[in-house]
Amino acid sequence: MNFCSECGSAVMLCVPTGDHLPRYVCPECGTIHYQNPKMVVGCIPEWEDKVLLCRRAIEPRYGLWTLPAGFMENGETTLEGAARETWEEARARIEIGGLYTLYNVPHANQVHFLFRARLLDLDFQPGIESLETRLFAEADIPWDKIAFRTVRATLEQYFSDRRAGSFDFHFGDIRTR
């Protein structure tokens, strides 16, 4: 960060009084510019014994498969964001269930929230950020072409829970790229 978003003056990196971390501070207006993790929200759209995946049409990880998910927008809830991302990426209508996984991704300054969701119908198609959308049974998942570690971990846990006959909430940390 070079300039204050409040007054336009050059900012400096320092530890503000009463804080313990370096922050960008405007010496002119005194604004402290906190930088916090981004929230990523999405879901596991289910249909019978299959899940809906999207093949990415954008970077990062162009051409690889993912669950519909993306950055939460200001003014929306996690559920609204997950439904919006599913519509934007797969044009799929869903009914969202409970929170299924929460992964901290500190190296990317992100927290990922993935919900279980039920597809309301089979009328889905690629949105602008997807090359392709497809339902996959566990045996057909392109495991070597999954875009993100959080998605792979979520899918592995999902199919494990399904085999066990019980879905629980899971959380963890993804510490390295």
- pLDDT of 150 reads 97
DSSP string over the chain: --B-TTT-PBPEEE--TT-SS-EEE-TTT--EE---PEEEEEEEEEETTEEEEEEESSSSSTT-EE-SEEEPPTT--HHHHHHHHHHHHH---EEEEEEEEEEEEGGGTEEEEEEEEEES-S-----TTEEEEEEEEGGG--GGGBS-HHHHHHHHHHHHHHHHT----EEEE----
Per-residue pLDDT of the chain (177 residues; tens, 9 = 90+): 999 999 999 999 999 999 999 999 999 999 999 999 999 999 999 999 999 999 999 999 999 999 999 999 999 999 999 999 999 999 999 999 999 999 999 999 999 999 999 999 999 999 999 999 999 999 999 999 999 999 999 999 999 999 999 999 999 999 976
Q: Which domains does the chain have, with CATH numbers?
A: 1-35 (2.20.70.10), 38-173 (3.90.79.10)
The whole model's pTM is what?
Answer: 0.90
- pLDDT of 177 reads 62
- pLDDT of 66 reads 98
